[in-house]
Structure 1
């Protein structure tokens, strides 16, 4: 199948990443993991900010079933507003995705990462593309690297899919990804509709802000020798409207930055983790903020997740919406592609990309 020619398909070619060594393969080398081998992964900022393990249970939990129930909708909407304002993150339960579809996609992604390296490399990123198996945000030969491998796919709309990257192994992979992707579109519609209501914004203004979907499957190998000195994902906010994350296995690693401290997110196998992205921060004029987060590494266990980034069409525009005429506008009106290029063409560095959208 030819590469997609639609504007949605161009999403994957807004930026590219330099090729680097496969981390899963490196982690399997065992005796080779000397300090000099790990030098590009060791970082001095891992210990920046206290980690408050005791607060891991405080991350808000939102029940989609209650939002859709007239008896509880108003109360749950208040909880959703608090989650978006105060945390920028929440765990979504009773999301309605059939358990069979969740089980199947978890199994397919886990099996993919267990394939031999030469098989996975058949789906490696091509020059100028961020789809495929490899890395993201590697823009120089001397930057510190994250301890992770990624496999990225454009999944929605269907015409944006480049089937050259869609594996035939495991044999369940394509069907599982398609079914899960379709279910997530329903969930994102419900979530965004309720977010609009909590902002007193006409939901029609948001109905095109999450129509493009991009999957990034993440594999974080254990690092037995220096887990406390590497990161699976550098601190960053998401260049999305909203992100929905599914943990394939229940290994802790995600941490949210709140008041200059890091709060771990305790895995919940029944939940999707949802977070506010940069585009939603711009559109809400800063009422809902995208939050810095990072991924730490376990010394003994692998961590596997799949992030679904829901974004506006590449040819679209994102602009702040005021609740009153007196409200000060804090962000520029920007082309979606303009912001995407800024975000994807640089290494991850907290929320620095969003500085380009702020009015002085």
Structure 2
């Protein structure tokens, strides 16, 4: 069944106008014409400080894995809840197995993304970002003509709630793609609802306190072409934390590249088969008064293979606020109450730069 077009409501349509990205050369097209590349073109992608911190692949197996079935079982719920609390507080990133999203839905979105990025450039450009809009096909966080660029192309869509959608950005090719996006988006929304309730339990707070923190969803489908010349000097995504409440990531193919920041070093993530990857966003860090940390992460590039992924960013209502929840009497408040619109505007209007956006929400140290 074809997804019907929906016009965005007044408040939800404002999400896509919070920032914009300057148009830049399509990276996939650059790779396809590698023989014509000049040093100047490549130079803008070279990251001078890419080796500033060590990479520790031996820690990959330490990334927490949370089993939803254990959270639901009376026999194992307490232990698995403690494990989830540890993952949010100490890692800010974890993998989730037995998440409940069917193999059919997962395979549908994976195949759709692969087919879309395999289309000719002129077909994909029919869904190109428009000035002043975050949605569409292109790149993100390009705010100046002299900043370093990421080695990636993307398709970004507001998917939830349905009235937030601008269907002019939803590709009609491949012909099943829209329905695959719709099904995946809905299933991830249900999963996020369940996960948020479990996270509320780890904080010993009423689930109603988080119920309005993930009502909107923004999907980013990313394509990272191989870089045969200098893969060790380019990044698919620069180091950053997410300006979301929770982010759910699905690896589309088996090519690794995601690295997370831990104790001043980078830890590569090896996704478990059939797992979803979850990370704490800035807004959850603010809400927990810093107990749960948004995780800085980046994407490295393979010399010979493309990498694809899809991120689902879950965010509060446009007109909402985020306030720290203090757990104990006398606990010092580390973050101020922030307006969601104000924080999102700050986040989307600047280039990615670690956790710099979160500094806006921090109260001055006394």
Indicate the TM-score class for this superposition, using the shorter chain for normalisation: over 0.9
The counterpart of 2:218, out of the listed 211, 214, 217, is 214
Of 32-41 and 12-21, deviating more is 32-41
Q: Does residue 335 of the first structure (1) align with residue 335 of the second (2)?
A: no
Asked whether 1:356 is paired with 2:345, we answer: no
Contact 2:6-2:165 at 8 Å conserved across structures: no
Show the counterpart of 2:299: 295
- Please, which moves more after superposition, 262-271 or 213-222? 262-271
User: How far, CA to CA, are the matches of 2:273 and 2:214 in structure 1?
Assistant: 24
Q: TM-score, normalised by structure 1?
A: 0.98
Which residue of structure 2 aligns with residue 87 of structure 1? 91
State the SS of the aligned residue for 1:233. strand
Contact 1:247/1:269 (8 A) holds in 2: no
Confirm or deny that 1:185 pairs with 2:189: yes
Q: After superposition, where does 1:267-346 map in structure 2 within 5 Å?
A: 267-346=271-350
Query: Counterpart of 1:111?
Result: 115
Query: Where does residue 19 of structure 1 map in the other structure?
Result: 23
Matched position secondary structure for 1:289: coil
How many angstroms apart in 1 are the aligned matches of 2:7 and 2:162? 12
Match for residue 175 of structure 1 among 146, 171, 179: 179
SS at match of 2:187: helix
Aligned alpha-carbon RMSD (Å): 0.9
Q: TM-score, normalised by structure 2?
A: 0.97
Matches within 5 A, 1:108-257: 108-257=112-261
Indicate the residue corresponding to 1:33 in structure 2.
37
* Cα distance in 2 between the residues matched to 1:126 and 1:284: 36
Deviations 1:266-288 (A, max 9, x none): 13231000000000000000000
In 2, Cα distance between equivalents of 1:148 and 1:309: 18
Contact residue 81 and residue 198 of structure 1 kept, 8 A: yes
> Aligned with 1:290: secondary structure?
coil
Which ranges in structure 1 are unaligned for 5 or more consecutive residues?
A: none
Q: After superposition, give the CA deviation of every residue in 1:122-143 in whole Å (9 maximum; x if it has no partner).
A: 0000111010001110000000
- What 5-or-longer segments of structure 2 have no aligned partner? none
CA distance in 2, matches of 1:162, 1:178: 13
**CA–CA separation in structure 1 for the residues paired with 2:262 and 2:299:** 15
Q: Deviations over 1:161-214 (max 9, x none)?
A: 100001110011011010011111111011111111101111101001001000
State the SS of the aligned residue for 1:90: strand
Is the 1:250–1:268 Cα contact (8 Å) retained in structure 2?
no
For 2:130 and 2:40, locate their aligned partners in 1 and report how far apart those are by CA, in whole Å.
Answer: 29
Q: Secondary structure at the match of 1:7?
A: helix
* Structure 1 runs, 4 residues or longer, greater than 3 Å off: none
| Structure 2 CA distance for aligned equivalents of residues 105 and 328 of structure 1 | 44
Structure 2 contact 6–164 (Cα < 8 Å) conserved? no
Q: How much does 1:2 deviate?
A: 7.1
**In 2, Cα distance between the equivalents of 1:211 and 1:227?**
38
